[in-house]
Amino acid sequence: MDDPRKHQVSLRGASAKEITRDALLEKVSQERELRQYARRATAAALFLQRVWRRYRETRTAALEMREEWEKCLKQQQQAGSVITAIWISSHVVRPFLFFVSCLLIRKRRIEAAEVNCMKSCFQMLLDSLNSTDSKKNYCSLAIGTVEERRVWGYQSRRLISLCIFVLSECDKSRPGGQDIVAITSLAMQLVVVLTDVKGWKSVDQQDCQIADTAVKDLVRFLGSGDSGLYSSIRTYINTLDVPCALSRSKSRVQTDDSFLITASTITLALRPFHVLKFDVNSLGLLDVHDVAEKYSVFLLTIPWLTQRLPAVLIPAMRHKSILQPCFQTLLILKEKILKAILAVDQSMFHVSQKVIPPVGWALANVICLATGGDNDSVDPGGFHQEFNCASYVRASNILAENLLVRLEIVDSVQKNQDAENNIENSEKLSSTVSCESEVTNESIKLSFLDMFRPISQQWHLTDLLAIVNKMGHSQGSETNTPKRLEFSGNLELLDIMRLYSFMLRMFSSLNPRVGSLPVLNMLSFTPGFLVSLWEVLETYLFPRNVCSGHKLYDIISKTSGSGKDWNVGKRKKHGNNDGGNKWVSALHKITGKSQAETGDRDLRANQAKAILVDKEDSSDVWDIELMRPGPQGISKDTSCMLYLFCASYSHLLLILDDIEFYEKQVPFTLEQQRQIASVLNTLVYNGLSQSIGQKDRPLMESAVRCLHLIYERDCRHQFCPPVLWLSPARKNRPPIAIAARTHEILSTNQRSDDSLALQSIGSVITTTPHVFPFEERVEMFREFIKMDKAARKMAGEVAGTSSRSVEIVVRRGHIVEDGYQQLNSLGSRLKSSIHVSFVSECGLPEAGLDYGGLSKEFLTDISKAAFAPDYGLFSQTSTSDRLLIPNPSAKYLDNGIQMIEFLGRVVGKALYEGILLDYSFSHVFVHKLLGRYSFLDELSTLDPEIYRNLMYVKHYEGDVEELCLDFTVTEESFGNRHVIELKPGGKDVTVTSKNKMQYIHAIADYKLNRQMFLFSNAFYRGLVDLISPSWLKLFNAGEFNQLLSGGVHDIDVDDLRKNTRYTGGYSEGNRTIKIFWEVISRFEPNERCMLLKFVTSCSRAPLLGFKHLQPTFTIHKVACDIPLWATMRGHDIERLPSASTCYNTLKLPTYKRPSTLREKLLYAISSNAGFELS
């Protein structure tokens, strides 16, 4: 091993401690860094000392100069000598600007000492400017010598900057605020006079050009970023009263000084626009955009801008010379302005700018200014005659689109914060503060949306559409690119569609409770709007030669005042090639198609139409090819128009009655309704089958809502072929077991706040189950029950044939009461098997063991007794099918609501075990069980008489007051009459022609929803104890009844024969059995149903065939021997057939002749008896 001392070097002799070379270098480096740090520290200290000494000396000099300045003014006032403009410039303005800039601007606050100095200086300058003597007028220096002009220009710019700074500090709520307001008033007057050559009283006619040049230089400085004008105006306006419930001030009345300041600030804000208007060449186009950019970023983003300002100032702000440059600048510098708006400082302002992004306030202010509307006006008016609506709409679209993006970001952040708050344990105080903050935020949002009132008024839409029609937006010779369309002066139909689609999304996002109802009301009831919108979509989706004899929206312009005559808006079909070319051109602009592509499409038009006629029942017709890629495969413009159409039409469908829909066929014919249904069906299915992005969710939600309304109307009164609903999924449906498991997983994991399910095949089953055939959905339902039983078995709830079963004893004469007392409290435990022991009428236990047959008999008998109208819980509708509906008087019975809840469990148990009950419920009642709201058009299925009466009122042409109606409804129960008000104070409200629609829908809502709510909720609670709600949503109302009571009113004899079991000595080859099948095959359908009810207690066959009948259909042999001589004489067995419904068994004697078997069997099944016949 080497000696370590071998590598050491001695530098100081043998007595010094020796170190290594590396350690020495490191030590030297550290000492060098320490010396450098000491030098930097010394330099920094010297710099700080210089800065401090300079500040101290400057402040001392400024204070001394202020004292000398004040003495100078006092001496001048005492001497009473003439004050010249040159003296003001050199002895007043020059020292004033020096000490004020040192004492005031650097501290960024105004103190009392500076207030008096500024008041004296500003007042002296204003007195000088009011003088007609050129020697005394300070502005005369602007037309003096070159040096005087230079000094005047420099001092004027410094004075303007100082005055603008004073404006930014003007807040009367601060200590000494009244003094600041007075100083600000003088400052604004000074700037207004300096920048207006008309206020210079000493200027001669020959010097006007020089003075005008000087003023333009000042105005140019005023509009530049160096002055800080617009940011200071923004700061000042934000201190004004907020005209809403959030404001602490109860009055918008301003004092004289405040009004003068506000008027001056608006004058100064608009002044650069007016100067640029008259001398664009002098200042350059870039200056126009620069001023418009600052105006848009700093002023238009102020919350409630038009509502804060006095009404007399608004016309100047909404003038086309102001708004038009802002719109054009926004279109050209879109990205730059949006980025600047996002960066606007919000920390010092009202909480409203944190609830609503600044771009949202810009949009609201733009709409208020463009339409002349504010929160205090009932009828905001309209557009100016020379107003460029194209730039207004496109600028609004840019702002609205960016606002929606910002709202989505804010919403996602809020959800994350809520999730974190739920995890953490918050104190009660923080919860209270959070609740108050939520109320404040909601108030701000509602006040913000109220600024968009013009958007929800019909004149706004009709005026824009009239402009489109006037401009001839669809001339076939034009081919504009999207970029050219954006900056062209013509308003396009798509611009309007985008605007209203953005508005719908914004209203829904900011006010989920009411949503976009105000806008939807207007769109739905604008005559001809939906018809025309669908015509454009129809041209794209169903290529054919569309002919229209009128220009687009001619009808809308002519009938905008009607609002009720839908026939006026119907399309007139006759040959007019010009009209067809207009639609084709409009289609080109929407889809981006070329003229060459159109030729090929026109050639295929007749072929497509022929296919539509020849293959009316083919599923290919209803699977729309252009919708197969889903929302991702259609253009942005088409998606926008589809969204607008679906949202508007789904709203209209809520109030369309059957007469309008089926008989008058307004606004669309039934053929068009089928086309709409096929488009939406294909779009929704393919959209849900793929991954949906956030941008496609609004379209999908509106399309699903509209599709559901059309489908439910078709379920009630069919107008679409069944193949239409099945067509999208006919080729790629998954196996039943996979679909059922996917659906169950999805329903379990789906979040409650998601309006659409996750994008998978499971979401198709959840959202649009109708694309699967009914039989397959029944199999899914059975698969769900099978999965549930397996899960219960794994959980230990089911361990054997008899374990965990429920033992009950039921008296034959009190089956409902005994069943209720023993089973109602079980809840979901009712899924377990029930072992029933019957007690006869005599009080003796009936012999026999329950292997499933007695429990079936129990469910059949209890439902027969409880659903009977005489029992009082349910009644029958007045329609021909006599469907069951809860009896309104049931709530007055003892335990009436609890009994209905128990019947929900009975029905759930029957569905769970696959036992058919020969009863059907009203579709309105089933809709409540499926979680769906019922509307006016469904009243005809519940009470046709009331529906007819309401339709009479709706279409009554005279004065409705003659009918003597009020907002009440009368109920009768047990001889007592109960008057129920449909609205608070309804008995004192007379139905008139104006409120008749409100009355009609109030009656319908009461009959369909409010009256039934208590009973449907109770029944639902019992039903879902056994049947999951997600399972029920696979079916509509009619299908639910089929699921409960079986299939069609006939039976398949061959299927029954294949699934029949023979006992007691019978076999399939027995002579009596052969006669039996021969006889029932010749029965009438109603006779076969009677036979099935005789044996199984239900007249309908199982939905999936008799192989699913439990217990199996059985024919048991009853041996009845007769003497040989009797047979030779033609005699046969006299004994009647009997049945054991609890075991689905027919006890059939050994008949020898078909005629005898037919006679005896018909007698037995017609006698309404079964077991007792034996």
Exposure letters 697-708 (e unless 16+ CB within 10 A, then b): bbbbbbbbbbbb
Per the annotation, the verdict on 1142 as an active-site residue is yes
For residue 921, give the DSSP letter. B
Radius of gyration of the chain (CA): 43
Contact 641, 523 (CB under 8 A): no
Contact 1027, 901 (CB under 8 A): no
> Cα separation of 972 and 821, whole Å?
30
| Active-site entry in 121, 326, 640, 1142 | 1142
Name the pairing type of β-strands 1113-1118 and 1060-1063.
parallel
Q: Exposed, middle or buried: residue 241 (CB in 10 Å: 0-12, 13-18, 19+)?
A: middle
Contact 1045, 859 (CB under 8 A): no
Alpha helices per DSSP H over 305-388: 305-308, 314-317, 320-332, 334-342, 352-355, 358-371
Phi, psi of 299, deg, nearest 5: -100, -45
Q: Which helix (H) or strand (E) holds 638?
A: helix 636-653
> Cα separation of 1169 and 1174, whole Å?
10
Spell out the residues 6+ positions from residue 235 whose beta carbon is closer than 8 angstroms to its own.
167, 168, 348
Q: At what angle do helices 577-591 and 595-614 cross, to 10 degrees?
A: 110
Taking the C-alpha atoms of 57, 60, 65 and 66 in order, what is their torsion angle to the nearest 10 degrees? Answer: 140
> Cα separation of 889 and 1011, whole Å?
11
CA neighbor of 1101 nearest in space, from 859, 914, 854: 914
Q: Is the peptide bond before 629 cis (omega within 30 degrees of 0)?
A: no
Q: Is the dihedral of CA 660, 663, 669, 674 positive or negative?
A: positive
Contact 934, 998 (CB under 8 A): no
* Partner residues linked to 874 by β-bridges: 886
Contact 326, 359 (CB under 8 A): no
Name the pairing type of β-strands 1145-1149 and 1113-1118.
parallel
Q: Which helix (H) or strand (E) holds 838?
A: strand 834-839
> Cα separation of 833 and 801, whole Å?
8
Which region holds residue 1062: left if phi is over 0, alpha if psi is between -120 and 50, else beta?
beta
Contact 197, 273 (CB under 8 A): no
Cα distances (angstroms) measured from residue 805 to each of 98, 798, 820, 847: 99, 9, 17, 19
Q: If DSSP codes are grouped into helix, strand and coil, which group holds residue 605?
A: helix
Q: Where are the beta strands (DSSP E) in 53-143?
A: none
Cα distances (angstroms) measured from residue 732 to each of 724, 740, 973, 1109: 16, 15, 54, 30
Spell out the residues 6+ positions from residue 516 whose beta carbon is closer than 8 angstroms to its own.
503, 504, 505, 507, 508, 647
Cα distances (angstroms) measured from residue 977 to each of 496, 973, 974, 980: 54, 7, 9, 10
**End-to-end CA distance of the chain, in Å?**
118
* Partner residues linked to 968 by β-bridges: 981
Q: Is the dihedral of CA 593, 597, 602, 608 positive or negative?
A: negative
Q: Which residues are catalytic?
A: 1142
